[in-house]
């Protein structure tokens, strides 16, 4: 069975404590039901954008959201397929958070991530030829596990993930260790990085960092791509001592949760007096959150109700200070009051 090398440093313990405190805050935050589906959808888009951009995908975040809506954005079909596949992978993960992390799951997620990008002989099947990791100058920096040794190496890693020893470790450590070992094995001909990050997210979800599925660790990695690859390679140069890598991932979790906390705080609109918000009003608030501001005609189209009904829905929200009316007559627009 795989035996990772690492040390629990005071710095790492401080990061874990900070992450745990942020996790508790997010769990207890009065996040309104109206915002949750939007935040989950936005998080999936961020995961798809940042994880694929690490591999060179050219789509911007707004373009990823457009692809999720079924629109064509004018980039290469390959890049749009990569994004679509990753969105599907994250949806699958969100619906299967209790799925055992075994070889069947690895193959299934790899098939989802590489559908239409690899041949059937390669999608969801281990590599048959030696692959290599190169840097941005195309210089070889790592020789992964050989094809002959790959099945056993993955089996050893999965056995460790599901072992009692791993179960006694904090989820951030398990997530980080799995991530590094998986990309070092590089078990498939393509899609290894995306798959490693997807399964690492699932590990966090399964081990008490579910948090409504509204945080994207991939955003941290993509924020400084050079550092991300440096940290992966650094551990290899230290005889696979993963201490610094784990600290780096823990720092990423902390920064990601801080960003998530800030987003939640920005969504906590406060009424001037107690309001009982109906389902239709929740839908109205979702639209305002998604589009920043809307006109009455847009609300009528989206909600499929009359102008009179729209007025009934938004008047209490305006009086309660939840939304703001801007402009007059046909130019009138409504937006959330986030002040």
Q: Which residue has the tokens 């939840």?
A: 322
DSSP H stretches of helix in the chain: 10-28, 36-54, 61-68, 77-95, 103-114, 150-161, 164-167, 171-185, 192-206, 217-223, 225-237, 243-267, 279-291, 296-303, 307-319
For 233, counting Cβ atoms within 10 Å of its Cβ (0-12 exposed, 13-18 middle, 19+ buried), the class is middle
For 263, counting Cβ atoms within 10 Å of its Cβ (0-12 exposed, 13-18 middle, 19+ buried), the class is middle
243 or 332, which is more confident: 243
Average pLDDT of span 268-288: 66
Q: Residue 96's pLDDT band (boundaries 50, 70, 90)? A: very high
In a 3-state reduction of DSSP, which class is residue 136? coil
pLDDT one-digit tens code per residue, 300-312: 888 888 988 888 8
* Every domain of the chain and the residues it spans: 10-267, 279-336
195 is annotated as contributing to ligand binding: yes
Q: Residue 276's pLDDT band (boundaries 50, 70, 90)? A: low
Residue 287: per-residue pLDDT: 80
Instruction: Decide if pLDDT at 123 tops 60.
Output: yes
Average pLDDT of span 175-200: 98
pLDDT one-digit tens code per residue, 41-57: 889 999 999 999 999 99
Contact 228, 197 (CB under 8 A): no
141 is annotated as contributing to ligand binding: yes
Strands (E), the chain: 133-134, 140-142, 293-294, 323-326, 333-336
Residues 6+ apart with CB under 8 A from 75: 58, 59, 63
10-267 and 279-336: identical CATH topology = no
194 is annotated as contributing to ligand binding: yes
Instruction: Decide if pLDDT at 34 tops 60.
Output: no
Q: Which of 121, 176, 127, 134 is nearest to 149 (CA)?
A: 127
Residue 74: per-residue pLDDT: 83
Average pLDDT of span 57-76: 91
190 is annotated as contributing to ligand binding: yes
In a 3-state reduction of DSSP, which class is residue 225? helix
Cα 126 to chain centroid, rounded: 25
How many other CB atoms sit within 10 Å of the CB of residue 11?
A: 13
Task: Give the phi and the psi of residue 141 in degrees, each rounded to 5.
Answer: -120, -10
CA distance 204 to 272: 38
Of the chain, the percentage scoring pLDDT greater than 70 comes to: 94
CA distance 160 to 209: 20
Residue 220: per-residue pLDDT: 97
Helix (H) or strand (E) holding 117: none
Task: Give the phi and the psi of residue 336 in degrees, each rounded to 5.
Answer: -70, 145
Q: Do β-strands 133-134 and 140-142 pair in parallel, antiparallel, or remain unpaired?
A: antiparallel
Supply the mean pLDDT for the chain: 91
Return the C-alpha torsion angle 309, 315, 321, 325, nearest 10.
90
The Cα-based distances of 295 to 306, 310, 324 in angstroms read 13, 10, 12
Single out the catalytic residue among 186, 212, 213, 244: 186
Q: Residue 318's pLDDT band (boundaries 50, 70, 90)? A: confident
Question: 11-25, 103-117, 160-174, 260-274 — which is least confidently predicted?
Answer: 260-274
203 or 325, which is more confident: 203
Instruction: Decide if pLDDT at 243 tops 70.
Output: yes
Residue 84: per-residue pLDDT: 97
218 is annotated as contributing to ligand binding: no
Residue 30: per-residue pLDDT: 66
Residue 5 is classified by DSSP as B
Domain 279-336 has CATH 1.20.200.10: no
Angle at 176 between CA 1 and CA 30, to 5 degrees: 130
Q: Which residue has the tokens 């749009």?
A: 80
Report, at the CATH architecture level, how domain 10-267 is classified. Answer: Orthogonal Bundle (1.10)
Residue 279: per-residue pLDDT: 66
Which tokens sit at 305? 């109700």
Question: 96-105, 267-276, 299-308 — which is least confidently predicted?
Answer: 267-276
191 is annotated as contributing to ligand binding: yes
Residue 110 annotated among the catalytic residues of the structure = no
Q: Which of 296, 97, 114 is nearest to 202 (CA)?
A: 97
DSSP string, 48-90: HHHHHHHTT----HHHHHHHHTT---SS-HHHHHHHHHHHHHH
Instruction: Decide if pLDDT at 113 tops 80.
Output: yes
134 is annotated as contributing to ligand binding: yes
Provide the CB-side half-sphere exposure for 290 (13 A, CA). 22
Contact 176, 242 (CB under 8 A): yes
Q: Residue 69's pLDDT band (boundaries 50, 70, 90)? A: confident
Residue 338: per-residue pLDDT: 61
CA distance 134 to 77: 25
Instruction: Decide if pLDDT at 270 tops 60.
Output: no
197 is annotated as contributing to ligand binding: yes
Q: Residue 278's pLDDT band (boundaries 50, 70, 90)? A: low
Task: Give the phi and the psi of residue 8 in degrees, each rounded to 5.
Answer: -90, 100
């Amino acid at each position: 069975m795989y035996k990772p090398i690492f040390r629990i440093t005071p710095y790492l313990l401080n990061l874990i404590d900070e992450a745990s405190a942020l996790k508790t805050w997010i769990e207890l935050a009065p996040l309104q039901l109206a915002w949750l589906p939007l935040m989950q959808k936005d998080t999936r888009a961020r995961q798809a954008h940042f994880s694929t951009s690490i591999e060179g995908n050219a789509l911007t975040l707004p373009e990823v959201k457009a692809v999720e809506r079924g629109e064509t954005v004018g980039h290469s079909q390959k890049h749009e397929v990569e994004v679509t596949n990753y969105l599907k992978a994250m949806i699958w993960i969100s619906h299967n958070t209790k799925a055992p992390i075994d070889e069947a799951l690895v193959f299934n997620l790899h098939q989802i991530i590489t559908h239409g990008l690899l041949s059937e002989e390669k999608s969801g099947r281990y590599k048959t030829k030696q692959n290599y990791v190169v840097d941005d100058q195309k210089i070889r920096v790592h020789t992964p596990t050989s094809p002959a040794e790959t099945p056993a190496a993955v089996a050893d890693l999965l056995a460790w993930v599901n072992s009692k020893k791993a179960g006694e470790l904090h989820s951030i450590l398990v997530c980080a260790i799995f991530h590094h070992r998986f990309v070092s094995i590089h078990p498939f001909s393509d899609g290894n990085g995306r798959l490693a990050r997807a399964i690492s997210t699932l590990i966090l979800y399964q081990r008490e960092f579910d948090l409504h599925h509204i945080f994207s660790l991939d955003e941290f990695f993509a924020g400084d791509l050079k550092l991300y690859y440096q940290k992966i390679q650094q551990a290899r140069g230290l005889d696979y001592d993963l201490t610094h890598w784990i600290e780096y991932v823990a720092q990423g979790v902390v920064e990601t949760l801080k960003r998530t906390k800030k987003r939640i705080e920005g969504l906590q609109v406060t009424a001037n007096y107690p309001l009982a918000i109906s389902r239709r009003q929740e839908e109205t608030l979702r639209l305002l959150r998604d589009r920043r501001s809307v006109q009455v005609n847009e609300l009528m189209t989206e909600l499929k109700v009359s102008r009179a009904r729209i007025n009934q829905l938004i008047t209490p929200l305006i009086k309660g200070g939840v939304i703001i009316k801007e402009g007059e007559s046909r130019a009138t627009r409504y937006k959330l009051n986030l002040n």
